[in-house]
Amino acid sequence: MELITILNRCHRFRGFVYQHAHFSADKKSIEVAVRPRRGSAAVCSRCHLPAPGYDQLAERRFEFVPLWGFLVFLLYTMRRVNCRRCGIVAVEEVPWGDGKRTLTKAYMLFLARWARRLSWNETAEAFRTSWDKVFDAVEHVVTFGLEHRVLGQVDAIGVDEIQYAKGHKYLTLVYQIDLDVTRLLWVGRERTIESFRGFFTVIGDELASKIVFVCSDMWEPYLKVIGEKCSEALHILDRFHIVAKMNKALDEIRAGESRRIASEGGVPVLKKSRWLLLKREENLKTEQRFRLHDLLRYNLKTVRAYLLKEAFQQLWDYNSPAWAGKFLDDWCRQVMRSRIEPMKNIARSLRQHRELILNYFRAQKLLSSGVVEGLNNKAKVTMRKSYGSRTFRCLELALYHSLGKLPEPESTHEFF
Ligand SMILES: [Zn+2]
């Protein structure tokens, strides 16, 4: 069986024929000559309709899916058309390629699918290609996906920020968190009011006005935009964010007190206590639990803060917003008397956003909590896998590619 036969079986296009296949001079790649079928007109790349020929350009090489360790190239002499509809001389459009890209569509889809399973570097290595070509492949597939995705109705969204580089470099991510669809809808630069407004520009006012739930953290720019664009929606402060904030405060208190004890030459009781205090007690091993209980006997600021944090967890057991509200008020009052400044800051912030926190209980039956947290963890894994360049564009593509559930370009054959 000849290579041409296989190609005709899996990668055939009307108006073009495979002429012959041969090895390149160095025997490392296979070159397949392609030519237009006699009498078939070239297609204008601007209006996508057949147009009269004008002239020919130099031969171009399109990289195809490699075969048994050989690189495979399709060689084709592009024609130019004199399109009267467009009133210009334009390069023809070929069905296996995408504009100026050097990879065939089939190969780009092939690489992009692997780039979802492996890191981009591993993909490039496995198929003896470059990181840049993997980037191109993912860009092609994601661009198609975003152009062809159907947003439909969106009931619930979650907005979150993610740090992607040192020095306060953040991305804003918006997820759809409906009960039946969870996917990444949008990636934005920074976490400012302007950037988050960009999401609403993309989805349009009509869709935005129908959103029923919005889940976010206490970041003021997000709160402001949500208030402005989704005024009808029930806005929920996410449990995971509140707990994360409290852990951060506790960690600060512990680090400060530990330094103070050391500088005063005291017994370093807080040494190696970080995870004892941050983990939930039920997740500790027996030995750690003993150490924790030992530590709790000391009259330390850290211990008092820890006990306040643990007491707070009860909040999530309530079903009724009214009882949850009463508990929240009691807890905040207690904290305000504690003279532990970082905890007092938390209490102030919780008081300020009291209604949004209680919305968690108003919506609990309808929103599965932890969805945003889960998606955010996946986003972090994706960012690690796309390593090679930490530019915004690269991360944006990688995130849409693995979390966007985007439609893929059609293919003549399942190469992978
Ligand atoms: Zn045209």
pLDDT in tens, 221-257: 988 899 888 888 888 887 888 888 899 999 999 889 8
User: Could you tell me the distance, in angstroms and rounded to a whole number, from the CA of residue 79 to the centre of ligand 1?
Assistant: 13
For 323-365, write each residue's pLDDT tens digit. 999 999 999 999 999 889 999 999 999 999 998 888 888 886 5
Tell me the average pLDDT across 159-183: 87
CB 285 within 8 A of CB 274: no
Give the distance (Å) from ligand 1 centre to CA of residue 76: 21
Range name among 57-66, 183-192, 386-395 with the lowest pLDDT average: 386-395
Whether pTM > 0.75 for this model: the answer is yes
How confident is residue 157, by pLDDT bands cut at 50, 70 and 90? very high
- Average pLDDT rounded to a whole number, residues 140-159: 93
Query: Is 70 exceeded by the pLDDT of residue 387?
Result: no
* Identity at 373, one-letter amino acid code: E
Question: Could you report the per-residue pLDDT of 310-333, keeping only the tens digit for each?
Answer: 899 899 888 899 999 999 999 999
- Please give the Cα distance from 139 to 118 (Å, whole number): 16
Q: pLDDT for 95-115, tens place per residue?
A: 999 988 999 999 999 999 999
DSSP 104-139: -HHHHHHHHHHHHHS-HHHHHHHTT--HHHHHHHHH
Q: Which of the four pLDDT bands, split at 50, 70 and 90, describes residue 205? A: confident
pLDDT, residue 77, reads 96
CA of 92 to the centre of ligand 1 (A): 9
pLDDT digits (tens, 9 = 90+) for 261-275: 888 887 777 877 888
Tell me the CA–centroid distance for residue 45 and ligand 1, in Å: 6
CA distance 210 to 224: 18
pLDDT of residue 232: 84
Ligand 1: centre distance to CA 52 (Å): 10
**Ligand 1 centroid distance, CA of 42 (Å):** 11
CA distance 54 to 43: 12
The percent of residues in the chain predicted with pLDDT above 90, rounded, is: 54
In angstroms, what is the span from residue 47 Cα to ligand 1's centroid? Answer: 4
* Mean pLDDT estimate for the chain: 90
Which of 184, 151, 176 has its CA nearest to residue 403? 184
Q: Which position has the higher pLDDT, 138 or 289? A: 138
